[in-house]
Amino acid sequence: MSRVSLTAEAAGALAQQHGTPFYFYDLPVLHERVLRAKTALPATLLYAVKANPNAELVRSLHGLVGGLDVSSLGEVELALRCGWRAEQLSFAGPGKTPHELQQAVERGVLISVESLRELSAVAAMGKRARVRLRLNPSHRTQAYRVSMIGGPSPFGIDEEELALATEHLRRHAAAIDFDGVHVHPGGQCTSVGAFAAAAAATLDLVERLGLPVRTVNFGGGFGVLGSGEELDIEACGRRLGTMLEKFRAATGQKIEAVLELGRWLVGPAGLYVARVVSEKRSRGKHFVMLDGGMNHHLGATGHLAPEDAPRVTVMNLSRPDAPMTTRTITGPLCTPLDTFGEVELPEPEVGDLLAVTNSGAYGYSFSPLLFLGHPAPAEAVKAG
156 binds ligand PLP (CB under 6 A): no
Phi-psi label, residue 48: left if phi above 0, alpha if psi -120 to 50, beta otherwise = beta
Torsion of CA 53, 57, 60, 66, to 10 degrees: -40
Q: Residues 264 to 283: which contact ligand PLP by CB under 6 A?
A: 264
> Per rule CB under 6 A, is residue 219 in the interface with ligand PLP?
yes
- Give the nearer residue to ligand PLP in terms of CB position, either 135 or 345: 135
- The phi, psi pair for 181, rounded to 5°, reads -120, 150
Strands (E) across the chain are located at: 22-26, 44-48, 67-70, 89-91, 110-113, 129-136, 144-147, 157-158, 176-182, 186-189, 215-217, 256-261, 270-282, 285-290, 314-316, 324-330, 339-346, 353-356, 378-382
Nearer to ligand PLP, 12 or 42 (CB): 42
- Which of 29, 37, 70, 92 is the binder for ligand PLP (CB under 6 A)? 92
Q: Find the length of the chain.
A: 384
Q: Which of 27, 51, 113, 317 binds ligand PLP (CB under 6 A)?
A: 51
CA distance 279 to 147: 38
Work out how close the CB of 99 gets to ligand PLP at its nearest, in angstroms, rounded to a whole number.
20
Binding residues with ligand PLP: total (CB under 6 A): 17
67 binds ligand PLP (CB under 6 A): no
Question: Which residue of 261, 276, 289, 343 would you call a contact of ligand PLP, by CB under 6 A?
Answer: 261
Stretch that binds ligand PLP, among 57-65, 118-126, 217-225, 331-339 (CB under 6 A): 217-225
Angstrom CA distances, 279 to 149, 208, 275, stand at: 44, 61, 12
Residue with Cβ nearer ligand PLP (50 or 296): 50
Q: Is 187 in the site for ligand PLP (CB under 6 A)?
A: yes
As a whole number of angstroms, the distance between CA 225 and CA 367 comes to: 18
Establish if 33 lies at the interface with ligand PLP (CB under 6 A).
no
Which one of 53, 262, 292, 360 is in contact with ligand PLP (CB under 6 A)?
262
The yes or no reply on residue 144 touching ligand PLP (CB under 6 A) is no
Q: Which stretch binds ligand PLP (CB under 6 A): 120-128, 237-245, 257-265, 269-277?
A: 257-265
**Between β-strands 67-70 and 285-290, what pairing exists: parallel, antiparallel or unpaired?**
unpaired
- In whole angstroms, how close is the CB of 92 to ligand PLP at the nearest point? 4
Q: What is the C-alpha to C-alpha distance for residues 62 and 83, in angstroms, rounded to an integer? A: 8
DSSP 383: -
Contact between 220 and ligand PLP by CB under 6 A: the answer reads yes
Residue 48 binding ligand PLP, by CB under 6 A: yes
- Dist. CA 260–CA 101, nearest whole Å: 21
Could you list the residues that contact ligand PLP (CB under 6 A)?
48, 50-51, 69, 92, 184, 187, 219-222, 260-264, 361
